[in-house]
Chain A
Amino acid sequence: MNGAPDAAKPSLSGRVARHAVSLLLTLLLGGFFGALLLRFGPGFDVDERDLDMRYSAQSREAIHRERAGDRNIFSFYVRYIERAAQGDFGVSRSLAVPVSELIATRAGVTTRLIGLGLAFGWTLGLGFAVASVRWRKPAVIVFSETFCGVALSLPAAVVALLVFLTAGPVSLVIGIAIFPRVFRFARDLFEKALDRPQVLAASARGVAERWIFLRYVVRPAWAPLIALAGVSVSIAFGAAIPVEVICDLPGLGQLAWKAALARDLPVLVSLTLIVTAITLAANAVADVALEAART
């Protein structure tokens, strides 16, 4: 009876292939809709040089003619994808620097920021979840709940401002954005696991509490936590934009903000594709890992 549904399930390689196709399609559509939004947003077809009184009318016309290719968003996107497939992401409209160069010089800053932030947020979230479930002391529970509530209600931009004013470590902001999600999710998982009969049986057998916690609570929770890890990467990316802007960090988030203000189509489309790819890849890895853990 149990054999039939298992046989209908795709293999691991099949799931990987499905994720790859889904990632590619989402990527292409995400990039296109990003470009479309920018194209039809206000201020797309202007240039700051329009206000420079040194330019003659003929020069301004010539400047606008040079950018006429970007007005038809379909042909722009097709050309962009063709070039991107060969590793050429175009040249920034506002900075006149190849987009790949801009991304290469800034990726390190964002990677460090997000990496440290994720490490901090996860350590804090898991630490508080373990403390509040394992010891179940009112003081620990109240403190962790209050801290979690405050962290959840504070926008990343406000925390960034506080960190900047106190000259604190900037990755703290990302950590604070990640922490409440990890804490609540992990705590709920641990609490459910503690209610399982195996825990009661192990306790009756006189197994040490530490071992019960590790074996019956933490071990079954790691698979759903991997799924959350995928989501937390996209949360961290989202928080990186205001953080880098407010704290003046030359990362991809700040580049995205400046590109949005300058209506820089090649940069914005490239960043949309990169962030979408990373987010989808993180989710896909988490998904595949989750499935693998279950089977």
Chain B
Amino acid sequence: MRWLPCLLACQALFAQGELRFNLRHEPKTLNPILAAEDASQAIAYLTGGVLIRVNRLTQELQPELAESWKVAPDNRSIVIHIRKGVRFSDGTPFTAEDVAWTLQTATDPKLHSPAGESFSAKGSPARGQVLGPDAVSIVFAAPVASLERLFDQLPILSSKSPLKEKAALGPFMVASYQPGIEVVLRRNPNYWKKDASGKQLPYLDAVRLPIQQNREIEFARFSRGEIHLINQLEPELFDRLKKANPEAAFDAGPSTDVDFLWFNQVAGASIPDYKKDWFRSRNFRNAISRAINREDLCRVVFRGRGRPAVGPFSPANKFWFNAKLTPSRFDPTAALKLLQQDGFSRKGDVLFDKQGHAVEFSVITNAGNRIRERMAVLIQQDLQAIGVKLNIVTLDFPSLIERITKTFQYESCLLGLTNVDLDPNEMMNIWMSSSEDHGWNPSQKTPATPWEAEIDNLMRAQSAAGERLKRKALFDRVQEILRQEEPYIYLAHRNSLSAVSPSLRGVHPAALFPQTYWDIEHLSLK
């Protein structure tokens, strides 16, 4: 009996409680396999159990619901042995059948599951075959490099639970959802993990997620202690927090996000032919790139909490980042020399092409994004120094998407990319010239340039190559070509900034999503 107070004290030490942080948008679905945007993905991460997880700090794979796995030498199949004795939140046993059923559901073409899309090869979905109560084989139609990493994005659903997708294998389960107001998650009583001392995880009782879009209100709530976390804090707010409460401000270094600018090179776009000639010229693109002061962008827009970008991957992507490349150095004189090679000449403060057209173009970006709007203004000033007039056009997101994907009524575009998956295979759609996502000139029947043909070949080769280092060498070459040709002019990687309440313990902010709560089961409140 003497131990009872000690046990109670120990339990109090791992103070249960309710973690609170904001969702910045309404979740579009609570079904974890349909999660596509940030809010839904946050809920899926907290409630969904996966077979294999990418550790957000080490970026290495770690077993979760899979006890072990073995990938076939031809990279076309994987056999997974699942953890025994695991139950869903409603008590339904977890079996190999659930894995096969989840895969079948996620790859159903009617559902449009982004997680399921990744499990396709050569247009055919992967198929699961139950080998026994604890083993399942998953077979792809073609070799898929690093296929085990795909399981990080596939939460397993129950094939038998009457609760269907609401039965959770993750640390929490959805308790309530009030559209426009909040989502509340409760601890999964059947969660399979225990800590080193044998204590049931997660430590927290609940997670409350108010839906709040306004970042100033979010920051005010954090300052008042009403919420415990903010991910992807804006640099300005981060500086304010750093001054007021330094121990609550965390800078995890460069994130995987990248901001970039590109020119419209679509042959049928309704822009004058002489402008198309500019945009297709490597010298022109390189000159614009050299005229942009990336250091200034990082200093002014990101308040020193960012770094110039050299390609699609930042140093946060530890394995795939090509460290040999250096960002384009700011040099307006060199930029003008490059332009002179294409017949451009400067008269007074205005740059003219060889046909006598003054060099002027517009850039579209998404309205309301303060960071990009500021970037556009700085780029405008930089280009003015070499006689180029840049007109900034801000559009709401649907209008912008329409212009860059359907009507191609734009000259250049400033946008950002969030790399959710670290593997370049996830970017196949961007680099293949035949793809709709090949931003500067999509859906090409045959590659428009030799270097695009080379990228196509390299991407196919790296995807088929099983050996990781070989893949890395091939993708390094892709990054080199992108650096030389600059179809996308990469500008900067913002740092992964977050606010963490000192009352929250066990937080180790990472560069990858979900930066502060990737290890949610080990977080506790004082």
- Chain A residues at the B interface, C-beta cutoff of 8 Å: 42-60, 62-63, 94-97, 101-102, 105-106, 164, 167, 246-248, 250, 254-255, 258, 261-263
Contact = CB atoms under 8 A, between A and B. Distances in A.
A56 B217 CA distance: 38
B26 A258 contact: yes
A55 B120 CA distance: 10
Contact of A248 (B212, B396, B399): B212
A59 B108 CA distance: 10
8 nearest A-B pairs in the assembled complex, by CB-CB distance: A43-B398, A250-B180, A43-B399, A42-B399, A248-B214, A53-B429, A46-B401, A54-B114
Contacts of A49: 36, 112, 114
B179 A54 contact: no
Nearest to B212: A248
A50 B112 contact: no
Nearest to B217: A248
A263 B401 CA distance: 12
18 contacts: A42-B402, A43-B400, A46-B406, A51-B437, A53-B427, A54-B118, A54-B426, A56-B123, A57-B435, A57-B436, A58-B123, A59-B109, A60-B436, A96-B28, A248-B212, A248-B214, A250-B179, A261-B396
B284 to A, nearest CB: 26
Contact of B213 (A56, A58, A94, A248): A248
A255 B180 contact: yes
A236 B414 CA distance: 38
B401 A43 contact: yes
Contacts, number: 101
A97 B178 CA distance: 11
B397 interface: yes
Contacts of A102: 179-180
Given A56-B117, A57-B436, A105 B28 contact: no
Interface in B136-195: 178-181
B435 to A, nearest CB: 7
Contacts of A58: 109, 123
Contact of B28 (A43, A54, A95): A95
A42 B398 contact: yes
B29 interface: yes
Contacts of B36: 49, 52
A190 B181 CA distance: 45
A47 B436 CA distance: 14
Interface in B348-403: 395-402
A51 B109 contact: no
B430 interface: yes
Given A45-B406, A255-B180, A258-B26, A55 B398 contact: no
A255 B211 CA distance: 13
Contacts of B114: 49, 52, 54-55
A262 B396 CA distance: 9
Contacts of A57: 435-436
Nearest to B415: A51
B153 to A, nearest CB: 9
A53 B181 contact: no
B463 interface: no
Contacts of B109: 58-59, 62
Contact of B398 (A96, A106, A262): A262
Contacts of A46: 398, 401-402, 405-406
Contacts of B226: none
Contacts of A97: 179
B37 interface: yes
A102 B29 CA distance: 14
A254 B180 contact: yes
Contacts of A52: 36, 114
A63 B34 CA distance: 13
